[in-house]
Amino acid sequence: MIRELNEKDILFNNTLRTQDQFIEDLSLGYVYLGYFLGDKLVSFINYIELVDAIEDHFVFTDPKHRNNGYALSLFEHLINNTKKKIIIEVNVNNEAAIALYKKLGFKVLNIREKYYDEDDALVMIKEPDAIILAIETSCDETSVSIIKNGIEELSTVVLSQMDIHKDYGGVVPEIASRNHTENITMVIEECLSQSSLKLDDITDIAVAYGPGLIGALLVGLQAAKTLALALNKPLIPVHHIAGHIYANNLMAPLQFPLIALVVSGGHTELILMEGHYQFKRLGGTLDDAVGEAYDKVARVMGLPYPGGPQIDKLAKSGKDVYSLPTPLDDETYNFSFSGLKSAVINLSNSMKMKKKPINVENLACSFQTRVINILLKKTMMAMNDYKVTNLVLAGGVAANTALRSALTEACEKRNYSLTIPHFKYCTDNAAMIGAAAFYAKKAGKAADLLLNSVSSEELH
């Protein structure tokens, strides 16, 4: 059992604190947290609680009861019961203790020289956990997620409106906004309930403020502002594309420098990152985004919305037999897909006029092959030019099976590391927003209640 000691408790014989010093410490406001086996005290830690931090002073375990993890349990108890950072000092030669603190998530802050007579002390710090509730409503998914420290998903709910918009062949902004409004409260509640957390456990509120459909974004933004105001928590603004990139951080911590290939319904971009939240846009599409081209081509081929997954599926059993143009094959990092899209539309129309049948599998394969070849070529060019060996794939089109295998093969050949989000993190979701928010906050991104949504904005 773990509990705080009081003056009736008797410390075991040890070399650190006498019973008198213990009583004096209590009167000075020091807290002793003890681990008991039955009513026998076997280990304790001693700390003082400051305004913004807890400073730990002693850790001591009865020599007869060492190596049983009692001190570890005491620290875990302390960590789980405070929202403050915890600071400790430890002798640089005490490897076992340093290993224990690292295991608990402590990081080295600095070194105090000759702190213990001849020995230096390491000052280590454990920041409180960031439990971020994130909201994403930029298109047709109402999504809420709770992410711990930018890496651990505690719960995510994604309510897709796809079936509603299918009938219209694409997302109808007004309908999307209305559905977000109807669902957002329920999705927040469901996400909290799945995580077993209370609103009070949330440390920050994050929201995708853009780019996207302005009316749809506003619903998530309003919900996020309301929560931030009511709970008195910081509000973190997250760029939707940063979210897509950080979906990869939920797979494995991002390694820098990296190139991100962002391919979604609204974006096709190559981005260089030299560190967390440092984005340098190398190039992007001059007209249609990849996902947009997929969806428009699919529509002409009579496939349901969203067309990307349909074309992906059909292409698997097709052959690259149709003669289609290669999109913008130059030495820049830019892309252009509208010419290719028009070529598919023209081909399909002229075949219809000539009453000749079109082989949809082959057309899907021919279109997809052109798209993937140019994405691959320009991505590898950027990796080579910037001498970067880490690649991450992001955005809804990252779900494309042919693109995933083409990049996997190319990276294996060159010994590059490649991270691809799990399918569930490729299309819009709030988990990626929560992951990005952790690093956005560290980079100084903060918002107040004047935050507005934007339909387009370059990633920064």
For Zn ion, which is the closer residue by CB, 56 or 428?
A: 428
Which partner in Zn ion, ligand KG4, none is near 234 (CB below 5 to 8 A by kind)?
none
Q: Quick check: 211 binds ligand KG4 (CB under 6 A)?
A: no
Q: What φ, ψ does residue 51 adopt, rounded to 5°?
A: -60, -45
Binding mask 329-368 for ligand KG4 (x = CB under 6 A): ----------------------------------------
For Zn ion, which is the closer residue by CB, 212 or 234?
A: 212
The helix, strand and coil proportions of the chain, stated in percent and rounded to the nearest 5, come to 40, 25, 35
Which partner in ligand KG4, Zn ion, none is near 308 (CB below 5 to 8 A by kind)?
ligand KG4
Minimum Å gap between C-beta 161 and Zn ion is: 14
Is the CB of residue 404 less than 8 Å from the CB of residue 393?
yes
Which partner in Zn ion, ligand KG4, none is near 421 (CB below 5 to 8 A by kind)?
none
Q: Residue 450: CA atoms inside 13 Å, Cβ hemisphere, count? A: 0
Q: Quick check: 34 binds ligand KG4 (CB under 6 A)?
A: no
Binding window for ligand KG4 (CB under 6 A); candidates: 31-39, 146-154, 323-331, 393-401: 393-401
Minimum Å gap between C-beta 148 and Zn ion is: 23
Contacting ligand KG4 (CB under 6 A), which of 42, 250, 297, 399? 399
Which partner in Zn ion, ligand KG4, none is near 133 (CB below 5 to 8 A by kind)?
none
Binding window for ligand KG4 (CB under 6 A); candidates: 76-84, 164-172, 287-295, 338-346: 287-295
Q: Quick check: 265 binds ligand KG4 (CB under 6 A)?
A: yes
Tokens of residue 187, six digits: 């999705």
CA distance 358 to 351: 7
CB atoms within 10 A of CB 321: 11
Among positions 127-146, residues that touch ligand KG4 (CB under 6 A) are 139
Q: Quick check: 419 binds ligand KG4 (CB under 6 A)?
A: no
For Zn ion, which is the closer residue by CB, 318 or 395?
A: 395
Minimum Å gap between C-beta 266 and ligand KG4 is: 4
Q: Residue 220: CA atoms inside 13 Å, Cβ hemisphere, count? A: 37
CA distance 413 to 323: 28
Minimum Å gap between C-beta 311 and ligand KG4 is: 6
Binding window for ligand KG4 (CB under 6 A); candidates: 97-105, 151-159, 288-296, 339-347: 288-296
Q: Quick check: 205 binds ligand KG4 (CB under 6 A)?
A: no
For ligand KG4, which is the closer residue by CB, 204 or 292?
A: 292
Contacting ligand KG4 (CB under 6 A), which of 34, 291, 327, 421? 291
**3-state class of 46 per DSSP?**
strand
For Zn ion, which is the closer residue by CB, 233 or 244?
A: 244
Minimum Å gap between C-beta 336 and Zn ion is: 20
Q: Quick check: 428 binds ligand KG4 (CB under 6 A)?
A: yes
Give residues with Cβ within 8 angstroms of 387, minimum separation 6. none
Positions touching Zn ion (CB under 5 A) are 264, 428
DSSP 63: G
Minimum Å gap between C-beta 396 and Zn ion is: 6
Q: Which strands sit side by side in the sheet containing 417-419, from one edge to the other?
A: 280-284, 268-273, 258-263, 390-394, 417-419
Tokens 């650190």 correspond to what residue?
A: 16
Is the CB of residue 97 less than 8 Å from the CB of residue 121?
no
Binding mask 306-325 for ligand KG4 (x = CB under 6 A): xxxx--x-------------
**3-state class of 72 per DSSP?**
helix
Segment (H or E) for 55 = strand 53-61
Binding mask 170-189 for ligand KG4 (x = CB under 6 A): --------------------
Minimum Å gap between C-beta 300 and ligand KG4 is: 14
CA distance 250 to 4: 37
Is the CB of residue 131 less than 8 Å from the CB of residue 154?
yes
Binding window for ligand KG4 (CB under 6 A); candidates: 51-59, 148-156, 289-297, 439-447: 289-297
DSSP 285: B
Contacting ligand KG4 (CB under 6 A), which of 427, 439, 441, 453? 427
Is the CB of residue 33 less than 8 Å from the CB of residue 58?
no
Which partner in Zn ion, ligand KG4, none is near 291 (CB below 5 to 8 A by kind)?
ligand KG4
Output the DSSP codes for 374-438. Answer: HHHHHHHHHHHHTT--EEEEESGGGG-HHHHHHHHHHHHHHT-EEE---HHHHSS-HHHHHHHHH
Q: Quick check: 220 binds ligand KG4 (CB under 6 A)?
A: no
Q: Which of 284, 273, 279, 281 is nearest to 388 (CA)?
A: 273
CA distance 235 to 285: 31
**Which residues in this chain contact ligand KG4 in the complex, by CB under 6 A?**
139, 264-266, 291, 294-295, 306-309, 312, 395-397, 399-400, 427-428
